[in-house]
Chain A
Amino acid sequence: MTTQELESGRQVTALRRKDLLGIEDLSPDEIGLILDTAEAMKEIGSRPIKKVPALRGKTVVNLFFEPSTRTRTSFEIAEKRLSADTLNIAIGSSSVVKGETLVDTALTLEAMSPDMIVLRHQSSGACHLLSRICKSAIINAGDGTHEHPTQALLDAFTIRERKKRLAGLKVAIIGDLLHSRVLRSNLHLLTKMGAETWVCAPPTLVPKEMRRFGVVVTNVVEDAVRDADVVMLLRIQLERMEGAYFSSLREYATVFGMTEERLRLAKPDVMIMHPGPMNRGVEISSEVADGPYSVILDQVSNGVAVRMAVLYLLAGGAEHEEAA
């Protein structure tokens, strides 16, 4: 069976890397490969038997140092659909509460030779640290405020599914830009794939590094939404709000919250996205969240397909990692 002839004429046919640490390291071709593979994976979810034997005998550890429902469940379903053996380790029930460090926890797990570790950690860079000391493939499921690559990939997949492309679309991202790893991964991805990206937040929630991404920064939500193809809302992360970034949630909702009225400025076929969990009535009104433009639940189902693609593609290992 040959695999050279791709419909898209893309050169890359494999991820020649050990880990998925962030979107920053990926080339546009690699992103395209993951999204195309995810399309094939999505079909599996519609079969009577939603399981293929591809990762039979592989062990995947889901190591979550932060609470997570959708990401952890999504990874676990993806692993099971590929027939991998999965092991969930949540912080509350592990030796971490007894004071074990991340490195020791990882080395202990590694001694039981898992093939992959899916890591969610509150510190930016935790995945890079593990990737250097572990032989297992490391998949970043969110590290601090750094990256959340599979979220950006599933967002891109969802956009591409509807709009058939990413290049040239106006994507407005509105919300807590300062604390969002989803934002960082999405900015890497959207700029690499040629989307016109706008970000919008109160000045206190705009990180200085935004300029580096070459995106349009605004504090006026109407400007961001005007003629947008995609409006992506980010959660106001109350648990990371140590200082006062704005006077009140109500003020935020009034000035920045996505309402049906504001949405009328966007293109008629605009898509509304939110990585979840939502603060209804703060960054997004219920009418918008449950409205006809919302693809929020599509994002969740596409997450499984995208994670299956990443798990499958990384299971090949990094044969030519140095050369690539």
Chain B
Amino acid sequence: MSIVMDADRIGRTLTRIAHEIVERNKGVEHLALVGVRTRGVPIAKRLARALKDITAHDVPTGSLDITLYRDDLMRHAVGPQPVVRRTEVTFSIDDKKILLVDDVLFTGRTTRAALDALIDFGRPRAIQLMVLVDRGHRELPIKADYVGKNIPTALADVVHVRLQETDGHDEVVLETGGAA
């Protein structure tokens, strides 16, 4: 088990990505952030604060629960259903540039579900993807536009992202080979 990102590193990474977002989009006009539950939501909120520090503009920020769009939802004949949490996208996404925010990019299936969910809210001008950690092993043709850190992993490894808002402290931990 090793700490691959500590609190300082996570903070600096989000600041760096905020600058990248501003540079690439030539400002934050038409931009909106949507965090994927659970830990994409606090990351999106922190990014929104960083963007405000840089540009003095408020960027609309929402949260998305993708449970009902999962492709493994009804795959098992019997089994408890995953808990569904609230989706809160209170602004119109039509013609906006949506930046989807998540903690870990792995198989890409969560992102696929998030894209499907987003499309049900309207027709954004573009959708970009930001992840704190890209750990590889994609099963779908999905790529992030902004990556906090690329972490080479084995399939059986587990990446834990812990955040102040959800877990009491900030860190990214790689657990090797454990039974997931």
Taken together as a complex, chains A and B put the C-alpha atoms of A57 and B106 apart, in Å, by 27
In the complex, chain A residues whose CB is within 8 Å of the CB of B86: 39-40, 43
> Does A103 touch B at the CB level, under 8 Å?
no
B23: interface (CB < 8 Å): no
The reply on A241 being an interface residue by CB < 8 A is no
Verify B87–A40 contact, CB threshold 8 A. Answer: yes
Task: Give the contact stretch, choosing among B14-22, B48-56, B114-122, B129-137.
Answer: B114-122
In the assembled complex, which residues on chain B have CB atoms less than 8 Å from the CB atom of A319? 78-80
B83 x A3 contact (CB < 8 A)? yes
Give how many A residues have a beta carbon under 8 Å from the other chain's beta carbons.
Answer: 38
A5 in contact (CB, < 8 A): yes
The residue from A5, A37, A52 contacting B120, defined by CB atoms under 8 A apart: A52
Q: Does B128 contact A (CB under 8 A)?
A: no
B150 close to A (CB within 8 Å)? no
A16 in the interface (beta carbon within 8 A): yes
Residues of chain A in range 20-56 having any CB-CB distance to chain B below 8 Å: 33, 36-37, 39-41, 43-44, 47-49, 51-56
Asked whether A47 lies within 8 Å of B121 as measured between CB atoms, the reply is: yes
- Chain A, 172-197, contact with B by CB distance < 8 Å: what is the 0/1 string? 00000000000000000000000000
- Which B residues touch A128, using CB under 8 A? none
A170 to chain B, nearest CB (A): 29
B81 near A316: Cβ-Cβ < 8 Å = yes
Q: Chain B residues near A49 (CB, 8 Å)?
A: 120-121
Q: Give the CA-CA distance A58 to B20 in the complex, in Å.
A: 44
Contact A51 B120 (CB under 8 A): yes
Indicate the size class of the contact surface on chain B.
20 to 34
Out of B78, B88, B110, B122, which one reaches A316, CB within 8 Å? B78
Contact A14–B68 (Cβ < 8 Å): no
Least CB distance, A74 to chain B, in whole angstroms:
19
- Cβ–Cβ < 8 Å partners of A33 in chain B: 83
Would you give the shortest CB distance from A32 to chain B, in whole angstroms? 11
User: Roughly how many angstroms separate A71 CA and B84 CA in the complex, as a whole number?
Assistant: 24
Q: How far is the CB of A320 from chain B (nearest CB, A)?
A: 8
Q: Is there an interface contact between B38 and A53, defined as CB atoms closer than 8 Å? A: no
Q: Is A2 an interface residue (CB 8 A)?
A: yes
CA A317 – CA B75 in complex, angstroms? 12
Whether, in the assembled complex, A312 has its beta carbon less than 8 Å from a beta carbon of chain B, the answer is yes
Q: Say yes or no: A57-B82 contact (C-beta < 8 A), given A43-B88, A51-B120.
A: no
A37-B116 Cα distance, complex, nearest whole Å: 20
| Bound Cα distance A20, B19 (Å) | 52
Instruction: Say yes or no: A6-B120 contact (C-beta < 8 A), given A57-B74, A316-B78, A317-B77.
Output: no
How far apart are A54's CB and chain B's nearest CB, in angstroms? 4
A48 nearest in chain B by CB position: B122
A58 interface neighbour in B66, B74, B84, B120, Cβ under 8 Å: B74
B69 touches A53 (CB 8 A): yes
A55 proximity list for chain B (CB < 8 A): 74
Which residue of B is nearest A53, CB measured?
B69
B57 — which chain A residues lie within 8 A by C-beta? Answer: none
Query: Which residue from chain A places its CB closest to the CB of B123 in the assembled complex?
Result: A48
Cα A15 to Cα B77 in complex, Å, equals 15
Whether a CB of chain B sits under 8 angstroms from the CB of A210 is: no
B120:A316 contact, CB within 8 angstroms: no
Q: How far is the CB of B180 from chain A (nearest CB, A)?
A: 11
| A288 at interface, CB cutoff 8 A | no
B133: shortest Cβ distance to chain A, in Å? Answer: 15
Given contacts A313-B81, A317-B77, contact A5 B65 (CB under 8 A): no
The 8 Å CB contact of A53, one of B65, B68, B88, is B68
> What is the 8 Å Cβ interface bit string for chain B, positions 82-97, against chain A (1 contact, 0 not)?
1111111000000000
In the bound complex, do residue A40 and residue B122 qualify as a contact, i.e. CB atoms below 8 Å apart? no
> In the complex, what distance in Å separates the CA atom of A12 from the CA atom of B121?
31
**Interface status of A218 (Cβ within 8 A of chain B):** no
Q: Which residues of A approach B to under 8 Å, CB–CB?
A: 1-3, 5-6, 13-16, 33, 36-37, 39-41, 43-44, 47-49, 51-58, 82, 309, 312-313, 315-320
